[in-house]
Structure 1
C-alpha cells in the first residue's frame, strides 16, 4: 500500500484494528514457548483468531509475528526460522482476508527485541540488521503496512523505523508503551517521543499495551497536542494478575471499550484496537461505537497528564565509602569474607566480626549471598546490621533470586535504611548445586546487567528512568576469575563490567602469583580498575584436592597439592604459610585482598595477617 493511499484512508475514516493474539491462542492451544511458532505448527488456530476479529468488525489484522525476530528466536533454537515464521504469518493473515466479505488491511507486526539489561548489548548495526531481516520477510509476503508496537525504548523504535526505511516505502505505525505516569523508559513523555518520530516518515504515532483504556486516554491527549501527526491507541483489558502459570486479564466489558473508543475518537485517534487481554467482543463494541464517526482534527489541548520538570541528572561522582577511598588512594585494603547465618541469630556473627575488627588489620567485611545456592540470611540485611555497629561491609548481591524490580528495591533499602555503601555484583551459583535443585533461578539479568542497574541508581534514576528524588553512590564491585576455562570470554565480560560502571574487582582465590601474571599477559596489561585477590588458607590436603577438582575457577598448583599431601598432619601449617605468602605478594602488586576463613572460624584468619 502506498503511503498516500494509507493517509487518505485515515483522512476519511477511523480504522479499527484487531485485539490480543497471544491470549486468544493460549485459550485454544495452551501455553507455548513461542506463539509465533504456531504459524507453522498450528496455522489453523492462528487463522481462526484472525477470522474472529474480522467477523467482529476489524478492518486491520496484525500478523502473528510480534516476537519473530532473530534476537528472540535464537535462544529457542529458532534463529534460522525468521524468514519462514514471518512468511507463514503473512500467508495465514492473507488467507483470513481472502475469506472475508469486505476489505481488510494486513499489518506486519514487529515488536521490540527484548534487550533489557543485557550483558552484551548489541550495537546499532546489529539491531538494524535484526529488524531489517524481519521487515523484509514481512514485505516480501505482502503486508500492507508495518506496525511497530509495545516498544519501551525510543532509541530502539527509531532504529526499527530506520531499518524499514532503508528499503521500504510502506506506511509505518509506531507505538510505544507507557506507564500510568505517562512515561516510557528513560522518563520519556509521549510528546517527546512523538517529536522524535514525526520527522522519520512515520504515518501514525501511538501507544499500546501496559495500561487499560482510561489510563491510555491522557497519553493519547498528549500525543494529539503534537502538530501534524496522526495517532493510534490500543489499550490492554486492564491490570493483569497471575493465576497458576498464567497471566490473566480482567474481564473488562465491551461497553467500557466502546466508551473508550468514542473518547479516543474525539481526541483525534485514527486507528483504534486492543492489546493484551482484549477479545473479538471488545473489538466489535469499538467498531460499533465509531462506525458513524469521522476523524476529527487533533487539537493542541493541554495534556491531562501534567509534565513535571525533570531534575538535572546527577553528575558522575566518586563513591563515598571509606573502603573505596582507601582503594582510590592505593592503600592496600583487607577484607574478611563471612557467610550469613543459616538460622535466625546474628550473635555469633557479631562476636566473630568484633574479634576480627578489633585486630585493626581489617578494613571491611564482605558477605556472601546464597553461596552454593543454599538458604541463608540475606547478605544486604546482614550488612545493614553490621553497618549499624560501625563495621563497613561489602555485601554480595546475586541476580539468581530476584528480578530487576526486586533487585532495585533491595538496593534502595540497603542504601537508605541499611547504610550500605559497597556492593559486589555477581550472577550467583545455579540452584541445581544447592538444597533446592528443583527450583529455577531468576537470572533476568546477569552481573553485567546488575552493574548497569547500580550505575543507574547512582545517577538518580531506576532502570526505567524514573527519578528517585536523590541518588545512591555505591562503590560497585565485580567478580573476576583469572583461571576461567574460557579466558577470552572472561576478559570480554570483565571489560563489559568496567564499561558498565564497575569500580573494583575481586578475584577467585589464587594460590600462585604466576596465575595472575599469566592472566595479565592475556589481558594485555594492567586492569583498568583496582583488583583485590582472594586468599584462602587451606586446612587439609583433602580440602585442597576437593577444591581443585570440584569448584569451578579454583586451580591449586600441583606442587602445592603434593606438599600438602606430604605434610600429613602438618598440612594446615603448609596451607596457611602459602596464604601468608600470597598476601605478602599481593601487597606488592594488587590493590587489596579478601580473606576466606577456614570452615567459618573467622578468628583463625588473624593468623595470616
Structure 2
C-alpha cells in the first residue's frame, strides 16, 4: 500500500482525504477527555466516522491519533494508555476499511505537542518517534505529520519520525490568512525547507478555512514535491460550551477542490469542522475534473503603518543608568470601580518630594482588583508620576497579553514589571485555574519581541514598542539555586531592571549575590516593608512563600508592644540607611 500511495501521488489523479474527526466524535460521545479517548471508550463511533468518510469518497483516512502523543495524553491523565489508544486507532481504521470493502489508505495522524514554548528537538523529538513506531507497527500505510505552526518543529518531528520509520510521510503546516507561520516564515520559504526532507508530500491543513489554504498552496507551487490541502471548514466559535463551525456549503468545498487541484494539490480533504458532506463534494469535483469557476483571488496583505520616531528612555531608565537613588512605592489598585482615592494618594506621594515612581500590583494575592495597566494609565495622566505596572501571565492568553500591552503602550505606559503572579487557588477563586501560556520568563521574551517590532510568535507588528522591562527576584527564596538560574534567564530574555521581594535581613541579599557570582547584572530595586506588629511578622514569615522574617525582628516587635508600628518603621529605615551606605545604585 505504501508503494501504491507514492505511485498515485506521482502519476494518478488527486487523492481524496477524509475530514475532521474530533468534533464529530466529541458530539457523538459526551464526556470525552479528548477525542482520542473514544478509541477505548466508544470504538464503534470511531469506526462509524471512518466508514462515513469512506462512503463519501475518501481514499485516505487518518487514524484518530492526532493528539495521542504521550505529552498531550498526560494533560488528560491518559499517558498510561498511550500504546492502547494508538494501537486501537489503527485497528479501528483497518476495521472500517474492511467493512467498507474499499481499498483505501490509512494514514497515521501525528500532531504537534501543542505547547507555546520554544521547541526542543532533543527532548521532544523522541515523543514523535515513539508514536510513529506504534502506528507503523500496527499497520498504517503512511504517516500524516500535520497541523504544525512552526516549521522548525515540523522539520525536527519529521527527522525524528524518519529515524524509526520508512513509511511515506505527508508533512503539513498551518498558515494564517497571509500564508505565514510562527516567526513570520512564509509558505514559499517553508516549502523550500520541507523540500529538503525525505517526505512524500508537503502542504497545509487546519487554519482559517479553504481560502487561507489556497493562498498557502499558491505560494508553495513549484517546490518540487506533491502538495496537500486539508483545511478547516472555517473559523470556529464557542456557543453554549460547544465548538461550532460555519455552515460551509458542499458547493463551496467543491470549488475549493477545483482550485486546489489547479494549484497542483495531489491530496485534497478537510480538517476541523468538515463532514462527509464536504468530502463527498470534493470527491465529485475531482472525479469530474471540475475546473475552477474563477481565478483564485488572493487578498492583499495588510500593510503596517509607518513606525513612529524613536523614543527616549523613561525617567526610571535614566535614573537607574545614572546610578541615582530611586524611591518607588508599591500600590494596590482598588477593588471597586473608582480610582479617585488612589489618584489622590499618588499626588500626596509626589508632593512629598521623596517618591519618584509608583509600582502597581496586578491582582495581588489572586484577588480581583482593577487592572494594573489601566490603573497606571490614569495615574500617569492625572498625576505625572511615572508608573511601573506589574503584569502577570496568570490571567490572560499570550494574545490577550499582547493586546493589553499594546493598548497601554499607546497610552504612554513604558515601564513594565513581568511577574508570575500568585496562583488563583490562594485567593478568592479556589476553583479557578491560571492561564499561564507562558511564565514570567516567557513574558519578558514577549515584551522584548514587541520592542523588536514583532509579536511572540515572530510576526511583524505595525510599529515596535519601547517598554523598559523589569522582573521580580527573591534573594530570600527557599531554593536559591533555582532563583539564581531563573534570574539569569530573565536577564538573558531581556530584563533591564529587577525588584526584589521584601527583605528583612540584608544577609539574604549578600548570599544571593555570592551565589550569583557578583553584583546583579541589572539594577535592583530592593523591597523594604515596615511591619506593624509581631502578629503581622509571624503571618508574613509563616504564610507568605519566599519571605523570611528574622527572629530578632519578631522579638523587637513583640517587646515594643503598642509601639510596634513605630519600631517596625525604624527597622525599615535602618535597612534603608544600610542600603544607601552599601551602594548608591541599590534602591
Length-normalised TM-score, structure 1: 0.89
What is the aligned partner in structure 1 of residue 448 from structure 2? 455
| 1:341 CA drift (Å) | 2.0
CA distance in 2 between counterparts of 1:105 and 1:474 reads 53
Higher relative CO (Cα under 8 Å, sequence separation at least 6) belongs to: 1
Where do 1:563-574 residues align within 5 Å? Answer: 563-574=556-567
The CA distance in 2 between the partners of 1:306 and 1:324, in whole Å, is: 40
Measured in 2, the distance between the counterparts of 1:306 and 1:191 equals: 16
Higher deviation after alignment, 366-375 or 3-12: 3-12
Contact 1:319–1:474 (Cα < 8 Å) also in 2: no
Work out the CA distance in 1 between the residues paired with 2:491 and 2:484. 11
In the other structure, the counterpart of 2:203 is 206
- 2:324, 2:584 within 8 Å by CA — same for their partners in 1? no
Tell me the residue number matched to 2:172. Answer: 175
Tell me the secondary structure at the aligned position of residue 149 of structure 1.
strand
Within 5 A, what are the aligned runs for 1:127-526? Answer: 127-224=124-221, 226-293=222-289, 304=298, 320-388=313-381, 389-417=383-411, 419-526=412-519
SS at 1:65 equivalent: coil
Report how far residue 412 of structure 1 moved: 0.5
Q: State which of 524, 547, 552 in structure 1 corresponds to 2:545.
A: 552
C-alpha offsets along residues 150-195 of structure 1, whole Å, 9 cap, x if unaligned? 1111111111111122233221111111112222212222111111
Deviation for aligned residue 1:122 = 5.2
For residues 321 and 98 of structure 2, what CA distance do their matches in structure 1 show? 70
Q: Structure 1 residues 139, 492: closer, same or farther in 2, change over 3 A?
A: farther
SS in 2 for 1:576: helix
Runs of 4+ in 1 over 4 A off after TM superposition: 1-5, 305-314
Query: Within 1, Cα distance between the matches of 2:584 and 2:82?
Result: 49
Worse overlay, 30-39 or 200-209: 30-39
Q: Retained in 2: the 8 A contact 1:174–1:206?
A: yes
Q: Is the deviation greater in 123-132 or in 515-524? A: 515-524
Residues 13 and 295 of structure 1 are in contact (CA less than 8 Å); yes or no, is this contact kept in structure 2?
no
The 3-state SS of whatever aligns with 1:99 is helix
| Structure-2 separation of matches of 1:313 and 1:207 | 33
Counterparts in 2 of 1:351 and 1:513: CA distance versus 1, 3 Å = same
Cα distance in 1, alignment partners of residues 181 and 194 from structure 2: 14
Give the secondary structure class of the aligned counterpart of 1:166.
helix
- Distance in 2, Cα, partners of 1:500 & 1:386: 29
Q: Is the 8 A contact 1:365 1:392 kept in 2?
A: yes
- Tell me the residue number matched to 2:61: 61
Q: Give the drift of 1:60.
A: 0.7
Displacement after TM superposition at 1:521 (Å): 3.7
Note the C-alpha offset of 1:31. 4.3
Q: Does the 8 Å CA contact 2:132/2:164 hold for their aligned counterparts?
A: no
Closer, same or farther: CA 354–592 of 1 in aligned 2, 3 Å: farther
| Change beyond 3 A, Cα 1:145–1:470 | same
Which deviates more, 360-369 or 267-276? 360-369
- Whole-Å separation in 1 of the counterparts to 2:167 and 2:474: 50
- Structure-1 separation of matches of 2:214 and 2:233: 14
Q: TM-score, normalised by structure 2?
A: 0.92
Matched length: 582
- The Cα offsets for residues 492-515 of structure 1, whole Å up to 9 and x where unpaired, read as 332332232222221111100112
Answer yes or no: is the 8 Å Cα contact 1:18–1:62 preserved in 2.
yes
Give the aligned partner of residue 78 of structure 1: 78
Which among 577, 585, 588 is matched to residue 578 of structure 2? 585
* Residue 319 of structure 1, CA deviation: 8.0
1:369-427 Cα offsets, whole Å, 9 max, x none, are 1112222221111211122232111001122222112111111011112x111101122
CA distance, structure 2, for counterparts of residue 482 and residue 185 of structure 1: 36
What is the distance in 2 between the residues matched to 1:86 and 1:525? 52
Partner of 2:27: 27
Paired residue secondary structure (1:460):
coil
